[in-house]
Structure 1
Amino acid sequence: MIVVAQGPGNLGTDTPWGFSGVACGDAVNAVAALDGHPVACLRVSEADGRARHRGISHHSLTAYGRVALAAADVVVPRLEGAFGRQVSEQAAALCAPRRQGATHRLVEVPVTGLFGALAAVERDTGVRLNTMGRGLSEDAAGFLTAAAAGRHAARLAQALPAARAGAATTPGAALR
């Protein structure tokens, strides 16, 4: 498994295309070109004061909806309540067939146990999780979304050796 991420930090121009996060869409294309299995991690916030960043951020919608032309697993965490429904609806729209590019695969992942695991990381390491100045308790949705993407990627990685033991001979073919 290879984890590709932008950062640290984002440089944005407050425009739909002018931010460094478009690199996430390029990463999806590169993984697919190398016959890999891209997993998209959405930027999600329930606490951001800017409407364009609440729910699934416009950054993720642009990077995965416009820049990524290859199909990726778009992981959506199973969050509760109205906010959870909003994120699920936005993710479903992102995975709808589109004029340009392949259709993404919507993958719902339960978040059971993830908040406790993230809190344990903070407690055991002394490192405070932080995004845009907010910690785990202030904006859990973003951290749970990233952890859900990690959970999905880990499951794919665990399945890979068993699948490769079968008929798969092309790198990445076992996961298609």
Structure 2
Amino acid sequence: MISYKNGIVISVISENEHLAIISVNVEDYTYNAVNYKDFTGDVKVGDEVVLNTTAVDLSLGTGGYHFVIYNYRNRSMELKGPGHIMKLRYTPYQMKCLAAEEEASPYHDLFNEFKSLDNHIFVVATLHSMIAPIMAMIKYLNKEAKINYIMTDGGALPLHFSNTVIELKNKKILDNTITVGHAFGGDLECINIYTGLIAAKEILKGNVTIISMGPGIVGSGTKYGFTGMEQGYIIDAINNLGGLAISVPRISFKDKRERHCGISHHTITTLSQITNTKSNLILPYLEEDKQNYIMRQIEESGIKKKHNIIFEDGEEIIKVMNEFNLKTTSMGRTIEDDIDYFTSLGAVGKYAANLF
């Protein structure tokens, strides 16, 4: 079920070609809301809009936004451009896109002719907050590096919701994007992760491709009930198609939840039980007590037997983040609040950069 209410637009806070952040009056209270122009058209001060208020009503982590469902001023919209692959299928918001692999695409034949990923480097992360530190480290060490990003549908579905992607593109750290599954808004659209991997290698031809869900992660406090489980089958997909899979661990000693202490249970569960193929798991050099804690986790979970464990230095990440003026946070924590989390990402980026 959803909850929805009518509101009046009182200001447009910011906007670009695809998205507008607006301020709305709902029952004499002011809220921020997101208007996706591809769904509901443009928005102006004074417009009466219907808002999906569900997440705010439940106090969920959407940044406190309502979402515009309908703008009474925009009574009709016409289809534009080629493509017939539907995303958000069989919902009121089903939308068509030109998928890179469909018949109308100029890249269609590449998918039929595909043989192998030929060890193209893929870095598989589980949180959207991981991508900026990893990409920044790669770009810092190799200014000529061409970095691509595949966004899965494990978190936010619209790529345009990600301020991180916008910032990384504006700062010339990230080159191109692909959205797969029901995620949408990338420079290329693909039907699934397999064709997304192929598109990254055959069409975008970058040095390295980072993979993660969009902003947000769904969790339930249970062993298997979280969307980061996708890391497991993505690693297998990369290996099955002949790529080089690098696993990003989720590491923190600042998270108050015991299941996320050291290496998160998300990483442990995925790499010990879900993957059927081997990846390169990159771990950072940390203080001795933290290092020992992590190694016990690796040994006891059986991850050491299933994956290549590689240690790398990630301490330069503070300098790198400052160099690019990136203010990334994870679970509300800054790099100063949770240095081990960011050091682990710096280690991943450094290892990846040294491969090409």
TM-score grouping bracket, smaller chain normalisation: 0.7 to 0.9
Q: What is the distance in 2 between the residues matched to 1:118 and 1:46? A: 20
Give 1:53's aligned residue: 260
Q: Is the 8 A contact 2:268 2:303 kept in 1?
A: no
User: Which is bigger in relative contact order (C-alpha 8 A, separation at least 6)?
Assistant: 1
Q: What is the distance in 1 between the residues matched to 2:209 and 2:323? A: 24
Q: CA deviation at 1:78?
A: 0.6
Gaps of 5+ in 2: 1-207
Give 1:34's aligned residue: 241
Give 2:274's aligned residue: 67
Q: TM-score, normalised by structure 2?
A: 0.40
The residue type paired with residue 273 of structure 2 is: R
Count of matched residue pairs: 148
- 1:143 equivalent in alignment to 2:320: no
What does 1:1-176 align with in structure 2 at a 5 Å threshold?
A: 1-93=208-300, 94-97=302-305, 103-121=306-324, 124=325, 127-156=326-355, 158=356
What per-residue deviation string (whole Å, max 9, x for no partner) do you get for residues 125-149 of structure 1? xx42100110100001111111211
Gaps of 5+ in 1: 98-102, 159-176
Give 2:38's aligned residue: none
Q: What is the distance in 1 between the residues matched to 2:295 and 2:213? A: 24
Q: CA deviation at 1:118?
A: 2.4
Q: What is the distance in 2 between the residues matched to 1:112 and 1:13? A: 32
Q: Is the 8 A contact 2:284 2:312 kept in 1?
A: yes
Q: Report the RMSD for the aligned CA atoms in angstroms.
A: 1.6
The residue type paired with residue 74 of structure 1 is: L
Q: Is the 8 A contact 1:74 1:91 kept in 2?
A: no
Q: Which has the higher strand share?
A: 2
The residue type paired with residue 49 of structure 1 is: K
What per-residue deviation string (whole Å, max 9, x for no partner) do you get for residues 10-61 of structure 1? 1001100000000111110111011111100000111000011010000011
Query: Which protein has the larger Cα radius of gyration, Structure 1 or Structure 2?
Result: 2
The residue type paired with residue 80 of structure 1 is: E
Q: TM-score, normalised by structure 1?
A: 0.78
Look up the SS of the partner of 1:38 in the other structure.
strand
Residues 120 and 87 (structure 1 numbering): CA distance in 2 closer, same or farther, change over 3 Å?
farther
Single out whichever of 62-71 and 51-60 deviates more from structure 2.
62-71
Residues 6 and 64 (structure 1 numbering): CA distance in 2 closer, same or farther, change over 3 Å?
farther
Q: Is the 8 A contact 1:92 1:106 kept in 2?
A: no
Percent identity over the alignment is: 26
Q: CA deviation at 1:82?
A: 1.0
Q: What is the distance in 2 between the residues matched to 1:71 and 1:153? A: 16
Q: Which has the higher helix share?
A: 1
What per-residue deviation string (whole Å, max 9, x for no partner) do you get for residues 60-91 of structure 1? 11111111111000111011131132123323
Look up the SS of the partner of 2:312 in the other structure.
strand
The residue type paired with residue 117 of structure 1 is: V
What per-residue deviation string (whole Å, max 9, x for no partner) do you get for residues 76-117 of structure 1? 1011131132123323554333xxxxx210001012422322
Runs in 1 of length 4+ with deviation above 6 angstroms?
none
The residue type paired with residue 105 of structure 1 is: N
Q: What is the distance in 1 between the residues matched to 2:333 and 2:343? A: 13
Give 2:152's aligned residue: none
Give 1:165's aligned residue: none
